[in-house]
Amino acid sequence: MSKKIVIIGGDAAGMGAASKIRRTHKNWEITVFEKSPHTSYSACGMPYLIAGQVDRPEKLIARSPETFINDYNIQAKTLHEVIQIDPDKQKVLVKDLEKDEAFWESYDKLLIATGASPNKPAIPKINTQGVFCLSTLQSGIEVWQFMEKHKPKKAVIVGGGYIGVEMAEALLEKGLEVTVIDRSAYVMKTLDQDMSEDICQSMRKAGIHLMLEESLTAIETDENHQLQAVKTDKKHIPADLVILGMGVKPNTKIAEEAGIKLCDTGAVLVNDKMETSISNIWAAGDCASSYHILKEKPMFIALGTIANKHGLIAGSNMAGENSTFPGVLGTAITRFNELEIARTGLKELEAKSMGLAYKVATINSSNYAGYYPGAGKIKVKLLARKDNLQIIGAQIIGKKGSAKRIDTIVAAISAKQTAQDLTMMDLAYAPPFSNVWDPVQIAARQLV
Residue placing its CB nearer to its own copies in the complex, 179 or 365: 365
209, 179 in Cβ contact below 8 A? yes
Residue placing its CB nearer to its own copies in the complex, 376 or 401: 401
Kindly state the smallest distance separating residue 329's Cβ from its own copies, in Å: 4
Kindly state the smallest distance separating residue 47's Cβ from its own copies, in Å: 8
Kindly state the smallest distance separating residue 59's Cβ from its own copies, in Å: 4
Kindly state the smallest distance separating residue 218's Cβ from its own copies, in Å: 33
CA distance 435 to 367: 7
161, 248 in Cβ contact below 8 A? no
Q: State the Cα angle at 297 between 291 and 302, rounded to 5°.
A: 45
Phi, psi angle pair for 185, to nearest 5°: -80, -10
**Biggest distance spanned by C-alpha atoms of the chain:** 69
* Catalytic residue (choose from 44, 133, 200, 263): 44
* Contacting residues for 233 by C-beta, under 8 A, at least 6 apart: 214, 215, 217
Residue placing its CB nearer to its own copies in the complex, 121 or 326: 326
Kindly state the smallest distance separating residue 11's Cβ from its own copies, in Å: 11
Residue placing its CB nearer to its own copies in the complex, 13 or 242: 13
Kindly state the smallest distance separating residue 404's Cβ from its own copies, in Å: 6
Report the SS3 class of residue 326.
coil
* Contacting residues for 54 by C-beta, under 8 A, at least 6 apart: 45, 48, 60
Residue placing its CB nearer to its own copies in the complex, 152 or 393: 393
Measuring CA to CA, which residue among 89, 78, 102 is closest to residue 7? 78
CA distance 448 to 445: 5
44 is catalytic: yes
Half-sphere exposure (Cβ direction) of 132: Cα atoms closer than 13 Å: 27
Q: Which residues bind its own copies (CB under 8 A)?
A: 12, 42, 44-45, 48, 53-54, 59-60, 303-306, 308-309, 313, 325-335, 340, 342, 344, 369, 371-373, 401, 403-408, 410-412, 414-417, 421-422, 424-434, 436-438, 440
CA distance 71 to 253: 32
CA distance 333 to 330: 10
Residue placing its CB nearer to its own copies in the complex, 58 or 233: 58
Q: What are the residue numbers of the active site? A: 44
